[in-house]
Amino acid sequence: MNDYIKYLQPETIAKLKNIELKARLVVEGFITGLHRSPYHGFSVEFAEHRQYRTGDEIRHIDWKVFGRTNKYYVKQFEEETNLRSIIALDSSASMNFKSGGYITKFEYASYLAAALAYLMIKQRDAVGLALYDKEVNSYLPARSRQSQIREILKMLEMASPKSDTHTASALDILAEKIKKRGLVIVISDFFDDPVSVLNALSHFRHSKSEVLAFQILDPREIDFKFGDGANFKDMETGEEMITQPYHIQNSYSHAVNDFLGHIKRECFNRQIDYTLIDTSMSFDKALTAYLGKREKM
């Protein structure tokens, strides 16, 4: 496996101890992969350049970059990099779930949040972080200074999933904290009442912010392939149930498909970008979704 592909795999990143190293290697692996993939439309010249747009002055074209990429880029000035983003990370107890062979949803979500923040700071965009369960427990406003990445990584390293969840009320509180329009990235399993969750996501849209929602699930939460017998425990209430999964797999499959389909459909209707991720997936799917969104803003 090529090194750049290896560092996009969650099982590889999980073995590294330092969260800054995890974020850097995910981003570097992603960017290397972009250079070897069809996604040549994305600007990855980190803060110094952006792609040429109609009306830009020709004198600002960087011909050295054109020689390397065969694409036109102009030198970008500090005042042009003004996207403000907040990453809202679900730290409720349900995010602590994992099935055999995979990392927890919270670990995956934390590594993704770290990589997104690292990428944004490298592009001189402003980024902040909110950790929530039934309320907003930690909040760091968006800033673009280099020291911001250390603050974000410190928050992520100290965080651990606990308590039950009330996504709607927590996101409503967060929406009131965000005073300037920008991009809100919500990373959650969205295991809550879907109507209230979708209304809370729409709260950000009402204030003219763009919204990118990542739903993080364990593969077994999608396919329910737990084998012949299993003991199920509610991560938030502690309630347990012993059953044979194949007895309820068909009903579960219909229920989860309805649940996921409803969220995806309603996000589309409300102009919210939505991506379903399971914890076996490499990080490039989520980062590509972010970069595609960034390019349109």
Identify whether residues 102 and 137 lie together within a single domain.
yes
Identify whether residues 158 and 73 lie together within a single domain.
no
76 three-class SS: coil
Identify whether residues 205 and 251 lie together within a single domain.
yes
Is 21 contained in some domain?
Answer: no
Identify the burial level of 71 via C-beta atoms within 10 angstroms of its C-beta, where 0-12 means exposed, 13-18 middle and 19 or more buried.
middle
The pair of structure tokens assigned to 35 is: 């250079």
The pair of structure tokens assigned to 42 is: 């994305």
Q: How far apart are CA 279 and CA 18, in angstroms?
A: 20
Which of 80, 111, 133 is the last residue before a domain boundary? Answer: 80
Identify whether residues 187 and 70 lie together within a single domain.
no
Under a CB-based contact definition with an 8 Å cutoff, are residues 50 and 62 in contact?
no
Is 256 contained in some domain?
Answer: yes
From first to last of the 297 residues of the chain, give the pLDDT tens digit. 577 789 999 999 999 989 999 999 999 999 888 766 544 444 444 445 667 777 777 777 788 878 888 888 776 554 445 689 999 999 999 999 999 889 999 999 999 999 999 999 988 889 999 999 999 999 999 998 889 999 999 999 999 998 888 888 999 999 999 988 999 999 999 999 999 999 999 999 998 899 999 999 999 888 877 655 544 455 555 565 555 555 566 777 788 899 999 999 999 999 999 999 999 999 999 999 999 898 887
Q: Which structural domain, as residue segments, surrounds residue 155?
A: 81-296
**Which pTM was predicted?**
0.81
Number of Cβ within a 10 Å radius of residue 85: 24
Under a CB-based contact definition with an 8 Å cutoff, are residues 283 and 103 in contact?
no
Is 92 contained in some domain?
Answer: yes
Is 225 contained in some domain?
Answer: yes
Give CA angle at 74 (36, 31), nearest 5°: 25
Identify whether residues 115 and 255 lie together within a single domain.
yes
Residue 189: name the closest of 223, 159, 161, 218 by CA: 218
Number of Cβ within a 10 Å radius of residue 2: 11
Residue 266: name the closest of 204, 197, 209, 218 by CA: 197
Structural domain tally of the chain?
2
Identify whether residues 213 and 286 lie together within a single domain.
yes
